[in-house]
């Protein structure tokens, strides 16, 4: 029996269950979920952008793996700090879900048709900066709570629109229903934001399966669900994020893909939310050197922004 540590939220448990089932199908091993609260879950009055940077959404979960109480932890990879944690290893990175952000409203707005003074809910500086660059008159306001809570705030008219990660909707609801949000019985519609409109967070849509270093049995099992293209593209994005040095607090977006020729192409953005200044750049690099690609693009972005 493999004990899998996860946050208590519906989305976190869905991600952990789906990963556990994938591991079970590939290896035949049974699994058990161990839900737990993290410091970030308890800090309900603090904006998300002010708690992620210290790994507060993964601290308790990681501690349970280090202590041996659990064998694995399943994380949203974007929640993990970029610095490695001694004693832990990323055992697998399963194939990535859709990394895009998605715009949710009662009227079915796309970004192009969103009213210029609409009220949009998001606690992400990255999203806010890109939305305001496209439509400076928007009223971008913070929003907390699980996905159901945030969706209901749009349905109730508290916000004209909401921006969330598309991957979360797809994991919670069947893909065909995610666009119409039918399971909640809410009169809402959704439209994905393309990378040219809003670059996602580094590693958005990807999961990290974490275990203790040296746990050869678990490491061997997890290799069966590791997806190398996802591991490498996410490594480039996280290296870029780490090279910029802002952690989860910075207005930073990244999306890496494998080209037809087998190289990596990394799109990146970084900016100053207070000054509404933003730079977007792209860089290509070798498939087997994702961290080098991320470091190179981070250096270019820092230079373009005049950051020392």
Residue ranges of the domains in the chain? 2-96+206-226, 101-193, 233-305
The pLDDT of residue 169: 87
The pLDDT of residue 247: 47
The pLDDT of residue 132: 95
Cα dist from 97 to 52, 79, 126, whole Å: 21, 15, 20
The pLDDT of residue 40: 62
DSSP secondary structure string, 131-170? HHHH-TT-EEE---S-HHHHHHHHHTTS-SEEEEEHHHHH
The pLDDT of residue 201: 96
Cα dist from 34 to 70, 73, 196, 223, 286, whole Å: 8, 9, 39, 22, 39
Q: Where do runs of H (alpha helix) occur along the chain?
A: 10-27, 39-42, 59-66, 125-134, 147-155, 166-172, 175-178, 216-222, 228-244, 290-305
In the structure, how many helices (H) and strands (E) does the chain have?
10, 13
Q: What length does the chain have? A: 308
d(CA 150, CA 166): 14
List of E strands, 175-276: 189-193, 207-212, 251-258, 264-272
The pLDDT of residue 24: 97
Positions annotated as catalytic residues are: 78-79, 126-127, 144, 150, 248
Whether the CB-CB separation of 74 and 65 falls below 8 Å is answered with no
The pLDDT of residue 39: 67
Q: Do domains 2-96+206-226 and 101-193 have the same CATH topology?
A: yes
Whether the CB-CB separation of 100 and 243 falls below 8 Å is answered with no
d(CA 147, CA 149): 5
Rg of the chain on CA atoms, in Å: 19
Whether the CB-CB separation of 254 and 268 falls below 8 Å is answered with yes
List the one residue out of 62, 3, 1 whose CA is nearest residue 33: 3
The dotted CATH code for 233-305 is 3.30.160.40
Cα dist from 183 to 17, 80, 150, 298, whole Å: 19, 30, 15, 41
The pLDDT of residue 38: 74
The pLDDT of residue 51: 46
pTM of the predicted model as reported, rounded to 2 decimal places? 0.90
The pLDDT of residue 297: 98
208-254 pLDDT, tens digit per residue, is 999 999 999 999 999 999 999 999 999 999 999 999 975 445 699 99
d(CA 255, CA 196): 11
Residues (pLDDT < 70) of the chain are: 39-56, 174-185, 246-250
The pLDDT of residue 274: 80
The pLDDT of residue 254: 98
Whether the CB-CB separation of 11 and 171 falls below 8 Å is answered with yes
Q: Which CATH number fits domain 2-96+206-226: 3.90.1150.140, 3.30.565.10, 3.40.190.10, 2.70.98.50?
A: 3.40.190.10
What are φ and ψ of residue 46, in 5° steps? -105, 130
The dotted CATH code for 101-193 is 3.40.190.10
SS percent in the chain: helix, strand, coil, step 5:
40, 25, 35
């Amino acid at each position: 029996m493999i004990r899998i540590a996860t946050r208590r939220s519906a989305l976190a448990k869905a991600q952990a269950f789906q990963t556990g089932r994938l591991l079970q199908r590939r290896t035949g091993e049974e699994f058990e979920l161990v839900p737990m609260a993290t410091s970030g879950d308890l800090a309900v009055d603090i904006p998300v952008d002010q708690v992620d940077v210290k790994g507060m959404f993964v601290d308790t979960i990681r501690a349970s793996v280090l202590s041996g109480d659990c064998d694995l932890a399943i994380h949203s990879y974007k929640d993990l700090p970029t610095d490695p944690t001694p004693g832990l290893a990323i055992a697998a990175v399963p194939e990535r879900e859709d990394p895009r952000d998605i715009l949710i409203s009662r009227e079915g707005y796309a970004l192009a048709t969103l009213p210029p003074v609409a009220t949009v809910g998001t606690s992400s500086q990255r999203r806010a900066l890109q939305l305001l660059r496209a439509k400076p008159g928007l009223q971008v306001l913070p929003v907390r709570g699980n996905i159901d809570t945030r969706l209901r705030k749009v349905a109730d008219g508290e916000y004209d629109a909401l921006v969330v990660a598309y991957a979360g909707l797809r994991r919670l609801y069947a893909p065909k229903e995610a666009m119409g949000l039918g399971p909640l019985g809410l009169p809402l519609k959704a439209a994905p934001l393309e990378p040219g409109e809003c670059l996602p967070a580094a590693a958005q849509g990807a999961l990290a399966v974490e275990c203790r270093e040296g746990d050869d049995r678990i490491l061997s099992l997890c290799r069966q669900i590791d997806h190398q293209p996802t591991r490498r593209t996410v490594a480039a994005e996280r290296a870029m994020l780490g090279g910029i040095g802002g952690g989860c607090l910075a207005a930073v977006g990244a999306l890496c893909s494998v080209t037809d020729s087998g190289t990596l192409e990394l799109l990146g953005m970084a900016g100053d939310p207070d000054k509404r200044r933003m730079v977007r750049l792209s860089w290509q690099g070798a498939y087997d050197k994702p961290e080098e690609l991320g470091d190179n693009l981070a250096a270019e972005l820092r230079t373009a922004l005049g950051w020392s």
